[in-house]
Chain A
């Protein structure tokens, strides 16, 4: 049983059922229409149920072949994943209020800790270097409309 639960077929089946079912469920809010004059719900509902069915087949397949295949998922490393995603969130949170120069320091500072072979001095230097580089290349040269400094400056 344990083998089934960590089987990639089983888990992707569950994911498909959840996502497909979700889309299908929400699509009931939209008009279905007729094949000749389709409503906005027609395509999503048909596709949603399609994904749901594929998911169910995968789940059944996983049970039928439980013993034959040990195609198990490897563990998810939590720490680097959270740090990388956290660095992106930091960028999104800080950019508008603090501007690109400071936000870059934060992004690199957070992301830099995601590897085991990190060195504090290296991260600091990288952060400063990238901050200058980003401000010069993106804002000054390419004129991407990014706020550069904290609001009010």
Chain B
């Protein structure tokens, strides 16, 4: 069977009225919970799982998968409009996406995100359809040493994509890594920096840091600017991208899709890395890197495409190896098991209709999402015209509910107050919180993989250089760092000379 007959089989399964309806329900619900920060797809899927007992297995999976990638769409909406990243993949959208919204280009930003996601979804689907079994092999070539190198690459990306001065960025990066280490150390079982609080022994949750550092401290900043506050809302700007905008953003979308599709396959943090990697790439190759962070369309379109493509290909380890790489995939696996389908290498031969039906439905879901979201942009942008005095208490309420529902505990709400203060102080002191947040996400994986690689190599640090994939990534990281550091040093020396 070649790819076209496979896709035809998938189409015949996915394009039935019922399956289209389930797909529609899934992506709509996903968009809704994605917009609400902290209400993640996992909890929603868990809640709906018993309801899918009665469905055909393919329909159940189509709907649950729709919730997942629908949530990716919705997540960027609140990140762009309100600087509320509900998931790590939406962090990058708060950089140039939020900056665009502040400049009155919220409509353009949302449209670029939606179109980019659709293009990425299409490419992701094609890659999944064409190469899924081959890609599964890539997923298992990554051991601890390779993941460590990938994390290092991610940290260098965090420095590159920061707009602040180098020294402060490095300080913030290390501080983020430290906060990421809070909690039980897997290697020894010791609770670190938890002050005897069992709530902390699982580590500080991403949602707590992201909403505290970004969302709530942004509200504090906005309340400060009394007069000039929210002039944005009076000029909505064009809602639709012009051909020029699209032509400008298209290469970034394609690059992001490719990068995201490859990274998404890696079960140990690939999806998270995809949007950072794409942002770094775009900033690196741009002729105007100084525009990044101030509303560069490529800085939004690339990463948005990347995280959507990664969301598609992150199904590879589950579908072809039977290994759930994160909580969402664990839910998908439960759904399959309930219907007596064992995910794994045999799934393509044993249930081809389910496999190809699910893959084609993802493309249909992406189509529904873009059709659904483009007309909604006008409504979202109008949201910004609501007087801020009415808008921010509502945002605070959504933050609180999201924070509470992470672990069904008010502890995380208190913790977020602390991070809001910290974030506010950081901004006042001109310390860019972005490297902090990225390092916070990557920190635990960095340490874990480094220590595991050393343990498995029986203490030989050479392992990072003798394994080709790891060595290549470390070399790229070093090169990127040099590119980032050298101009900064030159600049600061110039400034120093001028002062003398």
| Interface residues of A, Cβ cutoff 8 Å to B | 8, 11-12, 15-16, 19-20, 23, 26-27, 30-31, 34-40, 43-44, 47-48, 50-51, 54-55, 57-58, 61, 65, 68, 71, 73-74, 76-77, 80-81, 84-85, 87-89, 91-93, 95-96, 100, 104, 107-108, 111-112, 114-118, 122-123, 126-127, 130, 134, 138, 142-146
State the CA gap A33–B287 with chains docked (Å): 47
Interface size class of B (residues with CB under 8 A): 35 or more
CB distance A35 to B420 under 8 Å? no
8 contacts between A and B (CB under 8 A): A8-B430, A12-B171, A23-B178, A35-B459, A92-B400, A95-B410, A96-B410, A108-B393
* In the bound complex, CA of A139 to CA of B209 (Å): 24
Q: In the complex the two chains form, is A71's CB within 8 Å of B454's CB?
A: no
- B188 sits at the interface (CB 8 A): yes
- Cα A37 to Cα B429 in complex, Å, equals 38
Docked CA distance A116–B431 (Å): 28
Other-chain residue from B216, B224, B405, B459 in contact with A37 (beta carbon distance below 8 A): B459
| Pairwise interchain contact A44-B181, C-beta atoms closer than 8 A | yes
Q: How far is the CA of A47 from the CA of B424 in the complex (A)?
A: 23
In whole angstroms, what is the CA distance A117 to B425 when docked? Answer: 25
**B454 A37 Cβ-Cβ under 8 A:** yes
Residues of A within 8 A of B1 (CB): none
Tell me if B393 and A11 are in contact (CB < 8 A).
Answer: no
**When chains A and B are docked, how far (Å) is the Cα of A84 from the Cα of B499?**
42
Count CB-based A-B contacts (< 8 Å): 191
Partner of B171, one of A55, A138, A146: A55
Residues on A with C-beta less than 8 A from B223 are 77, 80-81, 84, 114-115
Q: Contacts A44-B181, A57-B167, A114-B223 given: A19-B410 contact, CB under 8 Å?
A: no
Whole-angstrom distance between the alpha carbons of A116 and B219 in the complex?
14
Q: How distant is B208 from chain A, measured CB to nearest CB, in Å?
A: 12
- The answer to whether A144 and B394 have CB atoms under 8 Å apart is no
Indicate with 1 or 0, residue by residue over B141-164, a CB within 8 angstroms of chain A CB atoms. 000000000000000000000000
Q: Which residues 276-320 in B have Cβ within 8 Å of A in the complex?
A: none
Do A122 and B413 contact each other (CB < 8 Å), given the known contacts A36-B459, A58-B171, A146-B404?
no
Q: Which residues of A contact B43 (CB under 8 A)?
A: 144
Is B388 interfacial (CB 8 A cutoff)?
yes
Q: Do A84 and B216 have beta carbons less than 8 Å apart? A: yes
Q: How far is the CA of A5 from the CA of B416 in the complex (A)?
A: 28
Question: Which of A26, A31, A73, A145 is B188 in contact with, Cβ under 8 Å?
Answer: A31
Check if B167 sits within 8 Å of A142, measured CB to CB: no
Known interface pairs A47-B177, A96-B410; A11-B192 also in contact (CB < 8 Å)? no
CB B182 to nearest CB in A, in angstroms, measures 9
The contact of B226 among A43, A58, A116, A146, by CB within 8 Å, is: A116
- In Å, the complex CA distance between A19 and B192 comes to 15
Which residues of B have CB within 8 Å of A71? 430
In chain B, what residue has the closest Cβ to A16?
A: B171
Point out the residues of chain A lying under 8 angstroms from B414, CB to CB.
Answer: 89, 92
Bound: A145/B405 CA distance, A:
8
- Alpha-carbon distance between A134 and B410 when the two chains are bound, in angstroms: 17
Known: A51-B175, A88-B417. A107 touches B168 (CB 8 A): no
Q: Which residue of B lies closest to A109 (CB)?
A: B393
B469 in contact (CB, < 8 A): no
Q: Is the CB of A80 within 8 A of B388?
A: no
In the complex, the answer to whether B389 meets A118 with C-beta atoms within 8 Å is: yes
Q: Is residue B340 contacting chain A, with contact meaning CB distance below 8 A?
A: no
Distance between Cα atoms of A74 and B416 in the complex (Å): 24
Any chain A CB within 8 A of the CB of B3?
no
A43 engages B181 (CB within 8 Å): yes
Partner of B420, one of A37, A65, A76, A85: A85
**B213 nearest CB across to chain A (Å):** 14
Does the CB pair B220–A108 fall under 8 Å? Answer: no
Cα–Cα distance between A138 and B399 once the two chains are bound (Å): 12
